[in-house]
């Protein structure tokens, strides 16, 4: 019997990528977000996949981004929280952590009319205090941690006595890098196949994580500063070549796993 897999997408646009690295942004708007959303929704529709999109709540302040997110909801995709402003939680004081975790859930639920059950920390930076706040805020699950052991690769409760579930991201240890598409699009399909095979041997459910960079058109040359932001935004690859490679990766997932929604997986545990 095939184990379940869920498909996630972190909605980091160019605004968040450049802020995280302290880079100067050139040009207006966020073409990476818009083209990434357009291609991602087309890609998932062609595969009949209902993904979970982890939204940064401040993105709802932008009417163009808000409409793309609402379209994703209309197409049946689930919504999770990726904080309010995409700041690293481990660098914040307790009151700011609470705001990022609580207010993002409240705003997404109110503005989009959906239940927000899941959370992912920006840059996967998370600590015990943040996990306790995630549980207190009423989330059903977190998906921010790369496991430190084979046992923790399967869903588990990270806080004793609390109902919060951790849906671990897939580890490819002892290989040096994760194998979700934003890495594998740079490291190549052979790396993906090797790491994916190693993960399958652990017999655990799969959280298959995309980013908008995996689908977006290359940023215009006027927006780019040099090789670093070109690589981190995957602007060295065409949208069509990324779609083909992401299709091969998702085909492998579908061959070995049963794709379901995150809500259905959490309900079954």
- pLDDT tens-digit profile of 92-142? 999 999 999 999 999 999 999 999 999 999 999 999 999 999 999 999 999
Distance CA 60, CA 70 (A): 9
- pLDDT tens-digit profile of 23-73? 988 878 999 999 999 999 999 999 999 999 999 999 999 999 999 999 999
Distance CA 44, CA 129 (A): 35
**SS3 for 258?**
strand
Distance CA 48, CA 102 (A): 32
The number of distinct structural domains making up the chain is 1
- pLDDT tens-digit profile of 79-94? 999 999 999 999 999 9
Q: Where are the alpha helices (DSSP H) in the chain?
A: 14-21, 31-47, 63-74, 94-98, 104-112, 128-137, 181-187, 189-200, 227-232, 239-256, 262-268
Q: Which of 198, 207, 190, 200 is nearest to 259 (CA)?
A: 207
- Residue at token pair 């671990």: 168
Residue pair 153/180 in contact (Cβ under 8 Å)? The answer is: no
Amino acid 263: pLDDT: 98
**Arithmetic mean of pLDDT, 242-262:** 98
**Arithmetic mean of pLDDT, 185-207:** 96
Confidence of residue 148 (pLDDT cuts 50, 70, 90): confident
Could you tell me the CATH number of the domain that includes residue 226?
3.20.20.370
What percentage of residues in the chain have a pLDDT greater than 70? 100
In the numeric block, which tokens belong to residue 29?
A: 């708007």
Confidence of residue 155 (pLDDT cuts 50, 70, 90): very high
104: containing domain = 3-268
């Amino acid at each position: 019997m095939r184990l379940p897999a869920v498909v996630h997408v972190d909605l980091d646009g160019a605004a968040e990528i450049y802020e995280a690295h302290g880079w100067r942004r050139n040009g207006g708007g966020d073409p990476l977000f818009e083209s990434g959303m357009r291609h991602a929704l087309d890609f998932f529709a062609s595969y009949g996949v209902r993904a979970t999109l982890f939204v940064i709540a401040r993105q709802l302040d932008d009417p163009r981004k808000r409409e793309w997110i609402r379209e994703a909801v209309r197409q049946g995709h689930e919504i999770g929280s990726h904080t309010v402003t995409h700041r690293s939680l481990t660098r914040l004081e307790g009151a700011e952590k609470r705001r990022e975790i609580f207010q993002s859930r409240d705003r997404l639920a109110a503005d989009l009319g959906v239940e927000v059950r899941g959370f992912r920390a920006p840059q996967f930076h998370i600590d015990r205090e943040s996990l306790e706040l995630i549980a207190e805020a009423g989330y059903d699950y977190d998906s921010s941690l790369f496991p430190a052991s084979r046992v923790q690769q399967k869903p588990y409760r990270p806080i004793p006595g609390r109902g919060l579930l951790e849906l671990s991201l897939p580890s490819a240890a002892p290989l040096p890098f994760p194998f979700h598409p934003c890495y594998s699009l740079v490291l190549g399909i052979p790396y993906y196949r090797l790491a994916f095979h190693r993960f399958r041997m652990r017999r655990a459910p799969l959280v298959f994580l995309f980013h908008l960079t995996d689908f977006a058109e290359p940023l215009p040359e006027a927006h780019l500063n040099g090789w670093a932001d070109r690589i981190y935004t995957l602007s060295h690859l065409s949208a069509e070549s990324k779609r083909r490679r992401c299709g091969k990766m998702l085909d492998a997932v579908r061959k070995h796993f049963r794709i379901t929604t995150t809500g259905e997986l959490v309900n079954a545990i």
